[in-house]
Structure 1
């Protein structure tokens, strides 16, 4: 008897729903055409009454899953499909999703989804279908125990199939609508089946299929949805390596315009930085650089001139930071990684290379340091990682930078490589890098300030080199001292020449100790300082160069303490007297900094005398006060 009364109640409500819906739909077509808008408003006011029937059905106590599956849902969906009214179909499908329980939807998914492709083309199916997927994914998230049921009923396959049929049926559906459906399906997949990468890739593949045949997306809303689609796996897995396993991921990216490709590339790099992801194989790096190609090279002749200079720098600095994140403890794999990076960044063009090449160079030099002492002849294509092999790659890379041209940066990098080759006992390689640096200095660096900086870098690097034999070292020091004496301004010449004195006396084991040549350098610096002083005296009003004499005095003191026999206390005393004489003869206003420097130098001599010891004894004969 109870079962009968439940059936009667359900039958009554269903009949009431069907009749009310028919009446509600007919209202649209009654009366004059001019009052169509008015009738539309009246229908909107009445729709809640129609939906109330479905709400009542869901509240009847005896309506269990079985009855819903066998009787209620088939009859409701039949009525929805047959009414052929877009307003009614949208509203009623939404009502069904909202009023009946999630577990009912899960168990009747096939029946529910079969209605969607039969709806009118003008119905906003994507919104209703997205709501259904969102609702079920929330159900899975809040009740993890039901996840096996999702697999059992093949929820993913059914949604995927339904979306395909809807897109097929609605030929005029805009791209943004289709992509929105795939975003919802991907969100559903990531929440319900996070471990099924094949499902994720399938969604991306379906999206590619929908986009195929189209050029770059012009619709900004569709672009926004594609970015949402591509960002979802990054957010879920917090690991770009997982996304790199999705074969369709880069294929979806290909449909973005150049600006959005760059935005997406930055999102990917930021994800790597945030999660400190280590990408450790050349294959994965190949895939990664394919994804971020918008930042690495010009896309389809696109110009970066429109881009703000600061934004461009930030983009390229991101790529440079990324290069340092690529690492593998296996030397041979790390070499493959460096070759992959080199291949990609050398396509970057003149504006990008100054940012990316230094990162690659220093990353390669880190590997060289790890390989010190493990060298052999490079033969054949598949060679193990050796310093010599890496230096060949570095030579090619810096050469590309020279073509821009970017001589000052190239020179710095050549010197860094020369120093690393020195530590690896590779004299010919170190000499070659120095030769390249000298060629750049001679042929490309014309600005006098840049020459000074470059020359001091050359002197400093050469001073630290201990690998060169007599002949090679003489050639390099001769060149360097020659460049020093040819600088444009006398004070710059003087400072470079006295800096060269350090090339002839080094403290390390097996160091060079050539006192004669140290003294020659210092005397030459004095002659240049003297010439500068005379020029200053001729040019009235220009300050003298007493400070140069004081600087040279300090160099004399340095080598005096090192015990160079050619530098005696008499030589130093004579120089102190010379400075005092020059100060008296200098007609221009005294230089406070020079006065302070000289006073401080004399105080140092007195301090060493008072301190005693072997150094103090050396200073005894010098009268500083």
Structure 2
């Protein structure tokens, strides 16, 4: 029997939909209108004569949804016809003479929508006319669907505050009255009459039949609830109007309704109360309530925290959610305070904020952590205490350390880099004027980032080191101005922390990065006149170079960094400086390629001649470095001659010539005119050698150097006289 009923339902629905589409397509065509004086024919059609059917309620709902779509198309058609000259007023009058009442009222609502948009009559008058007309349908189920259609097409045409259909000062009252009247009619229909129409006796029958009947009733409830949804979106309804007018009218209808099941559904519509509400629905409710609270009571953080606490209670025992819709709503819930206050410090005051985040799965937790960091960066929020930093890093720990290593393997490399770069930017923004508190912040951050694993440390250690060095510079200045007064946190206390932090990079390993950081710390220790500390950092850098850096290109870069940093150091005594300098020159001479050796060796010449230090001006050792560089360049030249054509070694000679000229000008007595003259002649000879391939870049470089010599010769005074003997 059940299968026969299902077949009948399907046949009924198929026939109804086919008839609906055929009639609307036929009568809405241009030719149909043209053959019957444009507008009248469609208004006389029987396309929506659903009153002849004996509907199955749940199939009727499906038919209604299809009819709704088709009628929206018909509305667009009517709008086009009015643009072509068809009078909307005549059309509105004409539709009221259609023969069948149900199609007549659906068409009346459709034309009424176009009528309101035309603004040829006040919206409130047309809406009042429509809601009165709809009383003509006595059948309870069909009445529900008709009034639902009226509610949907009118929702954007209510004479609300700010609406384009707003009229006089009472328009909000008119809008509310229209929705309440439509709701009242629906509520009365949903009572005993609707109960009879859909035969609720099925609820006592087999489970399958009971499920179907409950679904039907739920669909009818949705139709009534849509009126309340429209009512909630009226901007002009303030708290006083809702309390004094709207809510009493709604509750009055609930009380007057004699059907218990209908009363339950109505109250459900008013408060969204469900004992077994799905998690996604519950979180959506809390998210909406939080948004409302932030709008109405932005200064009441206790209200916000209460809502978050209620959400935590609802999620209690659920663990990490795997419902994508629920997690999306939690992100919206947690994002709302950030967007409202533009200040993460406010969110950190909410005790239940981190408790809600605990229910996010690892992937979504990282997304939320990213939202928090971007809010801080966008608003340039300074987290100024160690306690707040602790709370913040607890919130964003999803980006600091993976709880699931498998998840990390699935992350796109580019996305991972972007996440960690945002964490690095956050670390740079942490600041407090009080050195003692700032040191606490540094130690707190260090505690978290050292748990991040080898892939994260190269992103997070450098910003922590540089932020710490900023504190060192401040403390250096304070110590100089303190006139002997001891400052609680001192550079001497901070440098060991930095040494241990950089050492953590050895597990990655990224020796080139660690070497750079050691050299940065050595330079800071130099500025603080801490020779043992600076020497220790250099020693660590040298150990890394010797034991960890094996790539030839990385070695070249590292050697030049060492030379450049060592040149700027003034804190070392003779013994320590000689030791470090000897090591640096040794590294230079052992580089793999001759050109790299040559450039590193002549760069070492600057280690023996520092302009702002009279104690470091050893002309003889400068000359030894330059001569050694010449020998290496000459060896490279011989190798290039064997390959017939390379001009790179000539460029090396020109570079060395420029170093000779630099020290010649600085007053190094070991650099004579004859040495410079001999080098110029050597370069000229090599460039005209038959084995040499023409090199425009080398030619231009040499020509520029000779022009410089000529320019210096033309100067008056001692410098010009010094250059005068050089023939170039």
Q: TM-score range by the shorter chain?
A: 0.7 to 0.9
- From 385, 394, 399, the equivalent of 1:281 is 385
Structure 1 residue 580: deviation in Å? 2.5
Alignment of 1:110-259 (within 5 A): 128-129=270-271, 166-167=273-274, 170-171=275-276, 173-259=277-363
Q: Which residue of 1 aligns with 2:144?
A: 47
Residues 465-496 of structure 1: CA distance to partner in whole angstroms, max 9, x if unpaired?
Answer: 11100010000000000000000111111110
CA contact (8 A) 2:686 2:692 kept: no
Q: Which residue of 1 aligns with 2:519?
A: 415
Q: Does residue 521 of structure 1 match 2:625?
A: yes
Q: Bigger radius of gyration, 1 or 2?
A: 2
Structure 1 residue 241: deviation in Å? 0.6
CA contact (8 A) 2:646 2:693 kept: no
Secondary structure of 1:545's counterpart equals: helix
Q: Does residue 458 of structure 1 match 2:594?
A: no
Change (3 A) 1:565 1:362: same
Change (3 A) 1:263 1:49: closer
Q: Does residue 397 of structure 1 match 2:501?
A: yes
CA contact (8 A) 1:505 1:513 kept: yes
Q: Which residue of 2 aligns with 1:21?
A: none
CA contact (8 A) 1:417 1:430 kept: yes
Q: Which residue of 1 aligns with 2:445?
A: 341
CA contact (8 A) 2:225 2:266 kept: no
CA distance in 1, matches of 2:59, 2:425: 63
Residues 244-274 of structure 1: CA distance to partner in whole angstroms, max 9, x if unpaired?
Answer: 1111111111111122112111111111122
Q: Which residue of 2 aligns with 1:54?
A: none
Secondary structure of 1:304's counterpart equals: helix
Structure 1 residue 535: deviation in Å? 2.1
Q: Does residue 548 of structure 1 match 2:681?
A: no
Q: Which residue of 2 aligns with 1:315?
A: 419
CA distance in 1, matches of 2:251, 2:464: 53
Structure 1 residue 407: deviation in Å? 0.7
Residues 67-117 of structure 1: CA distance to partner in whole angstroms, max 9, x if unpaired?
Answer: x9xxx9xx99x989x98965666655665786797636436979989989x
Residues 147-201 of structure 1: CA distance to partner in whole angstroms, max 9, x if unpaired?
Answer: xxxxxxxxxxxxxxxxxxx35xx13x21111111211221222122211111111
Q: Which residue of 1 aligns with 2:462?
A: 358
Q: Which runs of 5+ in 2 are unaligned?
A: 1-53, 65-138, 149-170, 174-179, 201-216, 481-486
CA distance in 1, matches of 2:251, 2:411: 47
Structure 1 residue 129: deviation in Å? 3.2
Structure 1 residue 531: deviation in Å? 1.5
CA distance in 2, matches of 1:125, 1:338: 55
Secondary structure of 2:431's counterpart equals: coil
Q: Which residue of 2 aligns with 1:17?
A: none
Q: Which residue of 2 aligns with 1:295?
A: 399
Structure 1 residue 581: deviation in Å? 3.0
Secondary structure of 1:329's counterpart equals: coil
CA distance in 2, matches of 1:37, 1:428: 86
Q: Does residue 476 of structure 1 match 2:573?
A: no
CA distance in 2, matches of 1:241, 1:223: 23
**More deviation in 306-315 or 354-363?**
306-315
CA contact (8 A) 1:86 1:122 kept: no
For the aligned residues, what is the CA RMSD?
A: 3.6
Q: Which runs of 5+ in 1 are unaligned?
A: 1-32, 52-58, 62-67, 131-165, 377-382
CA distance in 2, matches of 1:293, 1:582: 63
Change (3 A) 1:293 1:38: closer
CA contact (8 A) 2:605 2:626 kept: yes
- From 676, 698, 708, the equivalent of 1:594 is 698
CA distance in 1, matches of 2:266, 2:561: 69
What TM-score, normalized by structure 2, do the two folds share? 0.67
Change (3 A) 1:388 1:123: farther
CA distance in 2, matches of 1:411, 1:623: 45
CA distance in 1, matches of 2:58, 2:686: 103
Change (3 A) 1:485 1:124: farther
Q: Does residue 570 of structure 1 match 2:712?
A: no
CA distance in 1, matches of 2:643, 2:227: 96
Change (3 A) 1:44 1:369: farther
Q: Does residue 263 of structure 1 match 2:363?
A: no
Change (3 A) 1:553 1:104: closer
CA contact (8 A) 2:525 2:534 kept: yes
CA contact (8 A) 2:529 2:571 kept: yes
Residues 101-142 of structure 1: CA distance to partner in whole angstroms, max 9, x if unpaired?
Answer: 7636436979989989x9789959776436xxxxxxxxxxxx
CA distance in 2, matches of 1:510, 1:121: 97
CA contact (8 A) 2:605 2:625 kept: yes
Residues 42-76 of structure 1: CA distance to partner in whole angstroms, max 9, x if unpaired?
Answer: 6442237999xxxxxxx9x9xxxxxx9xxx9xx99
CA distance in 2, matches of 1:554, 1:248: 68
Secondary structure of 2:549's counterpart equals: coil
CA distance in 2, matches of 1:542, 1:235: 63
CA distance in 2, matches of 1:98, 1:522: 87
CA distance in 1, matches of 2:701, 2:711: 15
Residues 496-533 of structure 1: CA distance to partner in whole angstroms, max 9, x if unpaired?
Answer: 00000000001114451111111111111111111111
CA contact (8 A) 2:305 2:353 kept: yes
CA contact (8 A) 1:97 1:105 kept: no
Change (3 A) 1:411 1:586: farther
Secondary structure of 2:515's counterpart equals: helix
Q: Does residue 106 of structure 1 match 2:237?
A: no
Q: Which residue of 2 aligns with 1:385?
A: 489
CA distance in 2, matches of 1:562, 1:79: 104
What TM-score, normalized by structure 1, do the two folds share? 0.77
Matched pairs, number = 531
Change (3 A) 1:430 1:121: farther
